Structure 1
Amino acid sequence: MIVRKNPISFITMNGKPNENWTNETDVFIVDDNSELAQKIKRNYPFFELVVENGEVIDVELTEKSIEPAKEEKIKELSSQCQQTIINGFIASNGNGYRLTTEDQLNMQGQKDELKDDETITEVDWMTINDENVTHSREEWLTVYKEAFRHKKECIFKNKQLRDQVKAATTKEEVEAITW
């Protein structure tokens, strides 16, 4: 692999992986199969060459190099948060409930109906297993509160993890953060 210092770039040629076939003077040779070559490929173009005795011995990552990893991790965490909300939860009554956007709107509508009509004593609701379950008014309101708590916990967990990502100083730290 040929590595150019200014502007930072690299190029490989299968037939001549470890020689300067460009005849340029401002370049360095790095073994294509080395750990250093992998590090260069993985972090390009966000690094500075560390040169000692005319040879590249390492690359020092620049601050910008971590930003794409952070952005990708934040998208990944947000997606996992949304999926965890949608997948639902197991309520204290032992039943599972999905929380798609439509499910959440339906729950809000049911709660409003219970608020408007105190004579309603039972609520039929579909569980995650597509079973129709009859709930007492109090039981259904408990399920509603638990659904809200589930969503809120997911949102706050996502916020905490995003803050960890933003505070990370290396790609390894970013990659170690998981849902």
Structure 2
Amino acid sequence: MKKYIKFSIVLLIAATMTSCGDKRKPQVQYMPDMYVSVPYNTNGAAGINGKPVNMKPVAGTIARGNVPYEYADTNAEYERAKLELKSPLETNEANLENGKKMYDIYCISCHGKKGDGNGVLSQREKFEGIPNYKDRDITEGNIYHVIMYGKGLMGSHASQLTDKERWQVVQYVEKLRNDLLK
């Protein structure tokens, strides 16, 4: 028994001596990246992998790929968009196909497959009064304007869709409206 006590004391002394190592030298760390983070100059040109981090845009500039929308969110601008705004995209099968994909993601639950306002949310009476495209005097300009800002219970979808995708949805909505008018 004394043998075990002596061995335990020696082991305790050895562990104590090794743990009191030189504090000036780096010790072994389990996850060093958790203890010592790499500092980045957030506004520096070299940033992470040569790409700037947290660069703030210059006031009055437009982000690359974004197109400014010159119509405000008012009824007068809605009417102006209805008269003036025209699609820059050519009407073709590729645009209609992608417009249908985007419509199926963002619009079908309220407006329905045919654009008759009889989507799943309307059938379940979550929203009432969803317009039928056939009953509305709509143009590509005001369809785009409504996608940008929303109208009534419909919220804006500007953040979900790119400029091109919005125009593709407009083309598909016009196709649905023409199908309903037949």
Q: TM-score range by the shorter chain?
A: under 0.3
* Greater relative CO, 1 or 2 (CA 8 Å, sep 6+): 2
Higher strand residue share: 1
- Tell me the TM-score normalised to structure 2 length: 0.22
Larger Rg: 2
- Tell me the TM-score normalised to structure 1 length: 0.22
